[in-house]
A and B are shown apart, each in its own frame.
Chain A
Amino acid sequence: EDADRGASADLAVVEHRRRLLDEWLAWRAQIEEEVATEREARGLPLDPIEGLVKKTDEEEDQVIE
């Protein structure tokens, strides 16, 4: 019985985390789309530093978040 109780508590924790993660991912998708639309409307590049950094050989290695 104790083990059952423990398992259901674990399940509740996991379900809670799942809900938090779903909420977070939904917000991220929404805000990213919103900002992309706003950048486009203002005629701005998606990456704010596009055009600022001079082309170098290392360019391919660059990770842009």
Chain B
Amino acid sequence: MRPILLQGHERALTQIKYNRDGDIIFSTAKDQHICAWFAHNGERLGTYHGHQGALWTVDVDPTSTLIASGAADNTVRLWEIRSGKCLKVWEFNTAVKRVEFNEDGSQLLAVTEKRMGFLGTIEVMDINLDPEAEQSDEKVLTITCEESKATVAGWSYLSKYIIAGHEDGTVSQYDAKTGEQLDNTQIHEPDMPITDLQWSADRTYFITASKDKTAKLINAQDLEVMKTYVADTPLNSASITPKKDFVILGGGQDAMGVTQTDARQGKFEARFYHKVFAEEIGRVRGHFGPLNSVAVDPTGKSYASGGEDGYVRVHQFDKGYFDFTYEVERQAKAQGQM
């Protein structure tokens, strides 16, 4: 798996997203612009300028027409991918740490930071996927996080639930129509922030990453923890691979932590685990700092990691990756179970 290095950001990467077809990668960093890249050769397709602060988050709608971004300038912006035009700016009281479109791109959620007397919130806006259309100013739903601010959030299958991961290591399930909190469960170690939440293809389950050095696979219906992946370093990101039953975790001790504890290595590797058996399969080195975001091509051909070092590394999966199976998987396949 020889990586392609994407050089275009001058600061730490914050989030990476593939579009549904897996041919375009979007990346955000603290350097105030969004980059779009071709996944197969790493060529830069474009940049999106306008935000006045560090960018924290980006998402692409399911039709690959629009992207949404959130930043430290307290705004969410909506952009036309093709033209690079900014179509809409929504303002908030504090920084926007996470945005996500629902499964049909009809709504967008934004997670806002807790600061200066404002509680953290999850806000929902209606989206019109036609780039010529007028976008509504209105926030159709506001969920206020009274207990612990949300750090990440997303939409389940059928846009039925909004699921949020919190700073205190809990996960909440909200009714996505009314905003009513249906459940809140201590999933990770108390007061260990949840740093990422990514969905399975059908949004019936998701993976969370935490500073408690674990990632967990969780059922969106009842918040049951189905699997736990144990790492030896704080995690910033986790992603579920299609085609193969793997998960990829990224993290690493930050510079300060390394000097205090283990100076030899910050453990800046992407870790592969078997999704069902929860056993570690392999690691991919390369970054010079913690991995802040990992993302997998929805068509299963590649994955990308974004580092504190300012680089995005794209890895095309090779034959060995696809051939790797456990004996019980081969047997299940032979018996037509898989």
Residues on A facing B (Cβ under 8 Å): 14, 17-18, 20-22, 24-25, 27, 31-32, 35, 38-39, 42, 44, 48-49, 52-53, 62-63, 65
Contact = CB atoms under 8 A, between A and B. Distances in A.
A41 B180 CA distance: 23
A17 B242 contact: no
Contacts of B202: 32, 35, 65
Interface in B82-117: 103-105
Contact of A35 (B129, B204, B326, B338): B204
Nearest to A52: B63
Contacts of B62: 48-49, 52-53
Contacts of B226: 27
B328 A18 contact: yes
Q: Which 8 A-B pairs have the closest CB atoms?
A: A48-B103, A65-B201, A49-B62, A18-B328, A24-B276, A17-B328, A48-B104, A31-B204
Interface string B20-45: 11000000000000000000000000
Contacts of B332: 21-22, 25
B158 A35 contact: yes
Contacts of A20: 276-277
B175 interface: no
A27 B337 CA distance: 13
Given A35-B202, A44-B158, 11 more contacts: A14-B328, A17-B326, A17-B328, A22-B332, A22-B337, A31-B221, A35-B157, A42-B158, A49-B63, A49-B104, A53-B63
B329 interface: yes
Dominant secondary structure of chain B at its interface with chain A: loop
A38 B220 CA distance: 15
B70 interface: no
A27 B226 CA distance: 10
24 contacts: A14-B327, A14-B328, A17-B276, A17-B327, A21-B276, A21-B328, A21-B332, A22-B332, A24-B276, A25-B337, A25-B338, A31-B204, A38-B158, A39-B158, A42-B158, A44-B158, A48-B62, A48-B103, A49-B62, A49-B103, A52-B105, A65-B202, A65-B242, A65-B298
B228 interface: no
Nearest to B329: A21
Contacts of B298: 65
Interface in B257-302: 276-277, 298-299
Contacts of A32: 202, 204
Contacts of A18: 328, 331
A26 to B, nearest CB: 10
Nearest to B64: A53
Nearest to B327: A14
Contacts of A39: 158
B225 to A, nearest CB: 13
A44 B157 CA distance: 12
Interface in B139-190: 157-158
A51 to B, nearest CB: 9
B333 to A, nearest CB: 10
A52 B158 contact: no
A38 B161 CA distance: 14
B129 A52 contact: yes
